[in-house]
Every structure is written in structure tokens, then in C-alpha cells.
């Protein structure tokens, strides 16, 4: 499998050059259908329009072809993070305070391996989240989170209403 840290070093400068913000780089699909997924967004809108996806895909294709960091054939997928976006950076938890999320942990936190609830904010590198069921606030170290994502709610839909509904937001290219 590919070295994600090395891929980020290749990808992030290209994302930055377009005035975008890198959200996630991930390989999935295993050996049968390997896909390199690159999620990015415009910082001012948190969206990515089809033209952004196409331009970033072309830039990344050139860089990845030249560096050849992935041995096997793969598909490059460039997309926006979407409405129920992954939370990959500590700053995401501050940015999305007040919204519901699901967090999964590498090790139990207060006896839990997962928590669903409302993000309350940060205390240093600790995420504060109030559980949906018991309404207690759980303190989750950012370092133990294996995955975090926003949950689709009416409040999230209202807050992330697109500026434009023209076009799609995913470009997928066989490599």
C-alpha cells in the first residue's frame, strides 16, 4: 500500500497552489480496485465545484505520473468533503462546534470505542463532545481518534446549503 505521508508531501503543494485546502488523502479499495482519494475545499466556501476538481485532478495527475509513488495501477479520485464530511484536522472540531459528529477511537475513552454527539469545541488538543444519549460531555484526545465525521442533520443541511447546485463535485480518473 502507498505511503500516505509521502503522498501528502506531493499533493499538498498542488492543492495550496490552487488556493484550496487539503482535507484528506486516503487509499482504499485494496488490490482489486485501488483508489487514491484526495479531498479538498475552498477555505472561504468549504465547497469544491466541478472546475476545481478537474483542475486539481489534472495537476495531481502530472505530479503523480512524474513521481510514480504508487507501484500498482490505481484510480485517482478528487472530491469535495461533502456534507457529512470527515473531520481530519484538530481545527475541524473547532470549525464545526455545535454540530453532531461520530468519533471512533483507537483505544477506549471513558469506556467507549465510539461516541455520537454534539461537538462543543476544544480544550487544547482535547475535543469536547456531548453525547446524544446521556447528554454527558466526553473529553476525547485528538490523538486517539481513528475517524471522525459530521452526521447528517437538518442543522447541518441548513448550514452547508451550497452556493451553487450546478455540476457534480467528484472527478474520477483511471490511472
Q: Which of 46, 36, 48 is nearest to 10 (CA)?
A: 36
Q: What is the CATH code for 90-159?
A: 2.30.30.180
pLDDT band at 175 (very low <50, low <70, confident <90, very high): very low
Average pLDDT over residues 35-55: 92
Q: Which fold has domain 4-83+161-174?
A: GMP Synthetase; Chain A, domain 3 (3.30.300)
For residue 170, the cross-strand partners are 79
**Given a cut of 90, is residue 113 above it in pLDDT?**
yes
For 128-171, write each residue's pLDDT tens digit.
999 988 999 999 999 999 999 999 999 988 887 765 545 445 55
Say if CB 100 and CB 120 are below 8 A apart: no
Whole-structure pTM value:
0.81
Positions of CATH 3.30.300.70 in the chain: 4-83+161-174
Tell me how far apart the alpha carbons of residues 105 and 107 are, in angstroms, rounded to a whole number. 5
Amino acid at each position: 500500500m502507498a505511503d500516505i505521508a509521502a503522498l501528502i508531501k506531493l499533493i499538498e503543494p498542488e492543492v495550496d497552489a490552487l488556493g484550496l485546502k487539503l482535507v484528506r488523502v486516503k487509499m482504499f479499495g485494496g488490490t482489486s480496485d485501488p483508489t487514491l482519494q484526495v479531498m479538498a475545499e475552498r477555505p472561504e466556501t468549504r465547497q469544491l465545484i466541478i472546475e476545481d476538481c478537474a483542475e486539481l485532478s489534472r495537476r495531481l495527475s502530472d505530479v503523480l505520473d512524474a513521481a510514480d509513488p504508487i507501484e500498482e495501477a490505481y484510480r485517482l479520485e478528487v472530491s469535495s468533503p461533502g456534507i457529512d464530511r470527515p473531520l481530519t484536522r484538530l481545527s475541524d472540531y473547532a470549525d464545526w462546534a455545535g454540530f453532531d459528529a461520530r468519533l471512533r477511537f483507537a483505544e477506549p475513552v471513558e469506556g467507549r470505542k465510539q461516541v455520537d454527539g454534539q461537538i462543543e469545541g476544544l480544550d487544547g488538543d482535547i475535543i469536547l463532545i456531548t453525547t446524544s444519549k446521556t447528554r454527558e460531555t466526553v473529553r476525547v484526545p485528538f490523538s486517539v481518534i481513528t475517524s471522525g465525521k459530521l452526521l447528517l442533520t437538518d442543522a447541518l443541511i441548513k448550514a452547508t446549503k451550497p452556493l451553487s447546485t450546478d455540476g457534480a463535485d467528484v472527478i474520477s480518473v483511471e490511472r
